[in-house]
Amino acid sequence: MTSWLRYIGIFTLLLFIQVLVLDNLHWLGLVHPFVYIWAILLMPIELPRWAQMLVGAAIGMVMDLFTHAPGIHMAGCVMTAYLRPLLVAGYVQDLDRMKGAITFDSIGMNNYFRLLAMLIVAHHVLVFMLEAFTFHHFGFTLLQILLSSAFSYLLVLMFEYVRKNT
């Protein structure tokens, strides 16, 4: 129960940071960091996939309510929650023995960096492609995806560093 309360607290903090600070940060209309997807990575590994997808849908729905984006963040979060177990299985040799959240220590620093990068890029590709809903300005959308993914990645690593050292 304590882990769920901690998880809800982390998500609430990420939501406030996302809505109050990061949603107001736009550099030339290109950088839109989304750090709330870190909450999807922090879910317990033993949670069934359907439950992970429901939690992802709830996280995305909350973000959609705050950003007035009908279903865009929800789709991105559900896809991220769906891909997470598949990608984790590629990095963890003994998945049955692993418990709790995915951290630097549980899967190794390099694997954690790769997993985080793939999930962030996959989420950002879907969100920005759904937002644009056209290939007319594909170069601009691709630049948004790359810059926003890089900035989100750095922010999530910073949050992970702070979480690890507290």
> HEC states along 62-117?
HHHHHHCCCCHHHHHHHHHHHHHHHHHHHHCCCCCCCCCCCCHHHHCHHHHHHHHH
Contact 125, 118 (CB under 8 A): no
Domain that holds residue 86: 2-164
Give the up-direction half-sphere exposure of residue 55: CA atoms within 13 A in the CB hemisphere: 24
Q: Is 41 exposed, middle or buried (0-12, 13-18, 19+ CB in 10 A)?
A: buried
Q: How many domains does the chain have?
A: 1
pLDDT (tens, 9 = 90+) of the chain, 166 residues, equals 567 787 788 888 888 888 888 877 777 777 888 888 988 888 888 888 899 999 999 999 988 988 888 899 999 999 999 998 888 887 776 655 566 667 666 777 788 888 899 999 999 999 999 988 877 888 888 999 999 999 999 999 888 888 777 7
Q: 């950002």: which residue's tokens?
A: 124
pTM: 0.87
pLDDT at residue 87 in the model: 86
Please state, in angstroms and rounded to a whole number, the distance separating the CA atoms of residues 31 and 129: 15
